[in-house]
């Protein structure tokens, strides 16, 4: 009506990261309390001795989740988990969240109750209070926005930018399961759509399904590292796939890295299902995303301690920037890492 | 697919406030740092000497705004303003925001740039840093979620719950303009839809249009009250209409109130347009909403100071709970206040 159209650049030309960079690159932080703004897993605000860590995520039906196979309780749990994961990735402890939702009237009160039961379960598990939010209607799908707030001692905060040459590159847990779980769910959805008489065959795939539907943010790693006397030099959570996150750390830190394929931790269940789908499990780990494990770098002096810990895998090391970011395969070949992970703006 | 349907309660049966109450009434705050959770304009978190104030809002296309007549720059400005308004309503100072958006590919980069130019303008005006957010795709409309974070000295925080009998009930600025501005926009939209050859007639209505499209959060009131030596006993921002907000204060404080119709501040432009629409301007003020002025109570000792200030109108006083919440008309009739304001869940 009152709109004026001139040149037009498609969002897909930039991708999510490009768009964020474009929209935020002119920001100059003005307040003394704004320690870290856009550009890390979470913002850091210093109101006094302890720093406040704030992170926010939006989940959109049809983009981030499919209610055809995602139970609402799991969705509520996941919406909180993925935000807390960002707080942990700052080496911080989450304390509060706000939860905003937009829902259409196709949702009943019982459906929302189910959703919130998952939200509260996640809050309880992580010792977090729900302290605010907004509830509004939507003409179409279900939209969720969560802000997580946490605290950290100034000297303990870990950014993406602290990785140094020769540091070890480490990852918690195992990777690729969330992605292969999603493939399984999508396959069974197709089967069901073609013939609703056929019941979905999800038996015996608990692990990969749970990794997709109900991911656990790594609450245990922050105290574990403290106990081990290790302060990561850089850290990030794996939401977009190992390759993408490793590139983030290297870019922010001005370094390169080598990741050894054979060192990437993959669960047996993931490997078996990947084989069924004829995908390399390492592709799932590198590009699948949604694992919500922590990727971090640590001084080489921590090698023995990290090596001995079953929750952590050393998957490579940090190199000079000019060496680039590489994957070294089992056969000894070297490939440049590329970020093919989850890109919300390219999704249909 | 895997869904199990049982009894069904429609969200519309509860309304927004009922739903929030239902979903949050079992919360027990666990952290020492969670001073105030759900139930006020913002959550209060105490990390040290200064308290952290956090507020969040979600704006959904087709529910909260119509892109047919809302310029994107104004929308960005408004999305920030309405959140900061909640921070001011705590007698606090906003310092940071996070901004999350979901957009479909019908939006161009230029369109988002326009939106963000409004966001940054509001940030600049209020001395606020954008410190985070999320950008994702949506299959349909445009969804915006903002979290505002502010700080306040512990002894200065003002809740909705502090109003005392005999306190003065005061409001900043004037009311009803945003609502009547919306009516004008809707009327011109209809005219345009019926006949696109007819250009919208918005000439000479700058004030009411600006109040609707580009509301200003009352940044000036917090330092003004401090300067005047007045600490409000209760405060809230007017997003849902004066009646609804007065009821919130009374309910939270366990008191009643009398509001005098003739004392409600209404701008001439509002009154004139209301007459054209054959609506009482006081109805616009009481039930229209989106004025983003501050409604507060103060001890009667502040009467002379408040009376002398042009930015503030004394519109009534706080009574005993049993007297109820009433509107006293110009003719001396008394009506019980009822909240007929904006109820997002009832909107189509």
Question: Which residues touch B244 (CB under 8 Å, ≥6 apart)?
Answer: B287, B289, B339, B340, B341, B342
pLDDT band at A203, cuts 50/70/90? confident
pLDDT at residue A23 above 50? Answer: no
Same domain, B109 and B234: no
> b/e per residue, B330-340, with b = 16+ CB within 10 A?
eeeeeeebebe
- Using CB atoms, pick whichever of B108, B139, B147 lies closest to residue A56: B147
Q: What's chain A's Rg over C-alpha atoms?
A: 21
Question: Which residues touch B54 (CB under 8 Å, ≥6 apart)?
Answer: A54, A96, A98, A131, A132, A147, A149, B42, B43, B44, B45, B147, B148, B149, B150
Name the residue of chain A whose CA is nearest to B35's CA: A131
Q: How far is it, in rounded angstroms, from Cα A122 to Cα A118?
A: 6
- The CA-based dihedral angle spanning residues B281, B286, B292, B294, taken in that order and rounded to the nearest 10 degrees: 120
pLDDT at A197: 82
Asked whether residue A259 is assigned to any structural domain, the reply reads yes
Name the residue of chain A whose CA is nearest to B137's CA: A345
Question: Which residues touch A145 (CB under 8 Å, ≥6 apart)?
Answer: A56, A57, A58, A59, A99, A100, A101, A134, B56, B58, B100, B134, B145
A327-336 pLDDT, tens digit per residue, is: 999 999 999 9
Q: How far is it, in rounded angstroms, from Cα B239 to Cα B343?
A: 10
Tell me whether residues A140 and B141 touch, CB distance under 8 A: yes
Name the residue of chain A whose CA is nearest to B115's CA: A23
Q: How far is it, in rounded angstroms, from Cα B35 to Cα B154?
A: 10
Tell me what the mean pLDDT of segment A280-292 comes to: 94
Name the residue of chain B whose CA is nearest to A117's CA: B23
Tell me whether residues A110 and B56 touch, CB distance under 8 A: no
A45-54, A255-264, B328-337: range with lowest mean pLDDT? A45-54
Residue numbers of A between 214 and 253 with CB closer than 8 Å to B: none
Residues of chain B falling short of pLDDT 70: 1-48, 340-348
Cβ-contact A100, A133 below 8 angstroms: yes
Determine how many CB atoms are found less than 10 A away from the CB of residue B187.
14
B299: domain CATH number is: 3.90.650.10
Residue where a domain stops, chosen among A156, A188, A203: A156
Residue where a domain stops, chosen among B156, B185, B213: B156
pLDDT at A37: 40
Tell me whether residues A112 and B11 touch, CB distance under 8 A: yes
Residue B220, classed as helix, strand or coil, is coil
- Determine contact: A200 vs chain B, CB below 8 A: yes
Give percent above pLDDT 90 in chain A: 54
pLDDT band at A13, cuts 50/70/90? low
Residue B134, classed as helix, strand or coil, is strand
- CA B15 to each of CA A109, A110, A111, B40, B342: distance values in angstroms, whole numbers, following the listed order: 11, 15, 16, 17, 10
pTM, whole model, 2 decimals?
Answer: 0.86
B123: domain CATH number is: 3.30.1330.10
Instruction: Determine how β-strand B129-137 pairs with β-strand B93-103.
Output: parallel
Give A220→chain B minimum CA distance, Å: 19
Tell me whether residues A133 and B56 touch, CB distance under 8 A: yes
For B242-253, give the DSSP string.
HHHHHHHHHHHH
pLDDT at B2: 34
- CA B293 to each of CA A291, B146, B148, B255, B263: distance values in angstroms, whole numbers, following the listed order: 45, 19, 17, 22, 15
User: Which chain A residues touch B125 with a CB distance below 8 Å?
Assistant: none
pLDDT at B150: 85
Same domain, A175 and A71: no
A106-146 pLDDT, tens digit per residue, is: 777 778 888 888 998 998 899 888 888 887 878 778 999 99
Question: H helices of chain A, where?
Answer: 11-24, 72-88, 109-126, 177-194, 206-213, 221-227, 242-253, 268-276, 281-283, 303-307
Cβ-contact B188, B201 below 8 angstroms: yes
Residue A161, classed as helix, strand or coil, is helix
User: Which chain B residues touch A148 with a CB distance below 8 Å?
Assistant: none
Same domain, B128 and B263: no
Tell me whether residues A58 and B134 touch, CB distance under 8 A: yes
Tell me whether residues B69 and A116 touch, CB distance under 8 A: no
- DSSP letter at A279 equals -
The residue with tokens 């707080």 is A87
- Determine contact: A198 vs chain B, CB below 8 A: no
Asked whether residue B4 is assigned to any structural domain, the reply reads no
User: Which chain A residues touch B109 with a CB distance below 8 Å?
Assistant: 8-11, 13-14, 19, 22
Q: How far is it, in rounded angstroms, from Cα B93 to Cα B108?
A: 34
| A348 vs B152, residue with greater confidence | B152
- CA B161 to each of CA A265, B33, B43, B237: distance values in angstroms, whole numbers, following the listed order: 54, 20, 14, 14
Same domain, B282 and B173: yes
pLDDT at residue A225 above 70? Answer: yes
Q: What's chain B's Rg over C-alpha atoms?
A: 21
Tell me whether residues A137 and B347 touch, CB distance under 8 A: yes
The residue with tokens 């995602």 is A70
pLDDT band at A44, cuts 50/70/90? very low
- Determine contact: A157 vs chain B, CB below 8 A: no
Same domain, B220 and B280: yes
| B151 vs A339, residue with greater confidence | B151
- DSSP letter at B9 equals -
Asked whether residue A6 is assigned to any structural domain, the reply reads no
Same domain, A38 and A149: yes
Residue where a domain stops, chosen among A104, A121, A156: A156
Give A49→chain B minimum CA distance, Å: 7
Q: Which domain holds residue B113?
A: 11-156
Same domain, A18 and A32: yes
Same domain, B40 and B168: no
Name the residue of chain A whose CA is nearest to B189's CA: A1
pLDDT band at A290, cuts 50/70/90? very high
pLDDT at residue A182 above 60? Answer: yes
User: Which chain B residues touch A108 with a CB distance below 8 Å?
Assistant: 8-11
The residue with tokens 């309910």 is B251
- Determine contact: A190 vs chain B, CB below 8 A: no
List residues bridging with A172 in a β-sheet. A312
Asked whether residue A5 is assigned to any structural domain, the reply reads no
- Determine contact: B23 vs chain A, CB below 8 A: yes
Q: Between A and B, how many residue pairs show a Cβ–Cβ distance under 8 A?
A: 298
Q: How far is it, in rounded angstroms, from Cα A147 to Cα A131?
A: 10
Tell me what the mean pLDDT of segment A164-180 comes to: 97
**Chain A interface disruption, residue of B49, B64, B136, B202, most A CBs within 10 A:** B136
Tell me what the mean pLDDT of segment A253-267 comes to: 97
Asked whether residue A327 is assigned to any structural domain, the reply reads yes
Asked whether residue B345 is assigned to any structural domain, the reply reads no
Determine how many CB atoms are found less than 10 A away from the CB of residue A313.
21
pLDDT at B32: 52
Tell me what the mean pLDDT of segment A41-55 comes to: 64
> b/e per residue, A164-198, with b = 16+ CB within 10 A?
eeebbbbbbbbbbbbbbbbbbbeebeeebeeeeee
Same domain, A316 and A208: yes
- DSSP letter at B147 equals E
- The ipTM, to two decimals, is 0.84
pLDDT at B10: 62
Determine how many CB atoms are found less than 10 A away from the CB of residue A314.
18
Asked whether residue A3 is assigned to any structural domain, the reply reads no
Determine how many CB atoms are found less than 10 A away from the CB of residue B113.
15
- Determine contact: B58 vs chain A, CB below 8 A: yes
- Using CB atoms, pick whichever of B8, B24, B135 lies closest to residue A19: B135
Give B227→chain A minimum CA distance, Å: 23
Count Cβ atoms within 10 A of the Cβ of residue B54 and give its class: 0-12 exposed, 13-18 middle, 19 or more buried.
buried
Same domain, B236 and B149: no
Within 13 Å of residue B276, how many CA atoms lie on the same side as its CB? 12
Name the residue of chain A whose CA is nearest to B20's CA: A135
Tell me whether residues A8 and B108 touch, CB distance under 8 A: yes
Residue numbers of A between 82 and 101 with CB closer than 8 Å to B: 95-96, 98, 100-101
Question: H helices of chain B, where?
Answer: 15-24, 72-88, 109-126, 177-194, 206-213, 221-227, 242-253, 268-276, 281-283, 303-307
Hey, what are A237's tokens?
């959570």
pLDDT at residue A20 above 50? Answer: no
Asked whether residue A50 is assigned to any structural domain, the reply reads yes
pLDDT band at A14, cuts 50/70/90? low
Same domain, A34 and A149: yes
| B23 vs A315, residue with greater confidence | A315
| Number of structural domains found in chain B | 2
Label each residue of B162-185 as H, E or C: HCCCCCEEEEECCCCHHHHHHHHH
Count Cβ atoms within 10 A of the Cβ of residue B119 and give its class: 0-12 exposed, 13-18 middle, 19 or more buried.
buried
Tell me what the mean pLDDT of segment A55-80 comes to: 92
Average pLDDT in chain A: 84
Give percent above pLDDT 70 in chain A: 83
Name the residue of chain A whose CA is nearest to B11's CA: A109
Cβ-contact A263, A314 below 8 angstroms: yes
Same domain, A66 and A187: no
pLDDT band at A65, cuts 50/70/90? very high
């Amino acid at each position: 009506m009152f709109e004026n159209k001139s040149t037009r650049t498609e969002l897909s030309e930039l991708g999510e990261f490009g768009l964020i960079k474009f929209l935020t690159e002119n920001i100059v932080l003005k307040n003394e309390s704004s320690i870290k703004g856009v550009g890390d897993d979470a913002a850091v605000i210093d109101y006094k001795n302890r720093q406040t860590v704030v992170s926010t995520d939006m989940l959109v039906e049809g983009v981030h989740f499919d209610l055809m196979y995602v139970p609402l309780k799991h969705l509520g749990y996941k919406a909180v988990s993925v935000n807390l994961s960002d707080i942990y990735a700052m080496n911080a402890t989450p304390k509060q969240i706000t939860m905003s939702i937009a829902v259409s009237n196709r949702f009943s009160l019982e459906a929302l109750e189910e959703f919130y039961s998952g939200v509260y379960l996640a809050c309880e598990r992580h010792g977090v209070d729900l302290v605010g939010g907004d509830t509004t209607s939507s003409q179409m799908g279900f939209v969720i926005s969560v802000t997580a707030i946490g605290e950290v001692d100034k000297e303990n905060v870990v950014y993406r930018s602290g990785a140094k040459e020769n540091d070890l590159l480490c990852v918690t847990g195992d990777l690729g399961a969330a992605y292969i779980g999603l493939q399984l769910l999508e396959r069974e959805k197709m089967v069901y759509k073609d013939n609703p008489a056929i019941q979905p065959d999800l038996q015996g795939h608990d692990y990969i399904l749970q990794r997709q539907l109900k991911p656990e943010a790594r609450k245990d790693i922050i105290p574990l590292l403290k106990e081990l006397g290790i302060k990561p030099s850089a850290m990030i959570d794996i939401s977009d796939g190992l390759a993408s996150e490793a590139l983030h750390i290297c870019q922010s830190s001005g370094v390169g890295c080598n990741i050894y394929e054979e060192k990437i931790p993959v669960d047996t269940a993931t490997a078996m299902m990947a084989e069924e789908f004829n995908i390399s499990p390492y592709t799932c780990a590198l590009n699948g995303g949604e694992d919500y494990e922590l990727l971090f770098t640590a001084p080489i002096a921590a090698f023995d301690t990290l090596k001995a810990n079953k929750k952590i895998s050393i998957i490579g090391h940090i190199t000079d920037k000019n060496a680039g970011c590489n994957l070294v395969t089992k056969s000894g070949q070297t490939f440049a890492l590329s970020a093919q992970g989850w890109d919300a703006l390219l999704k249909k």
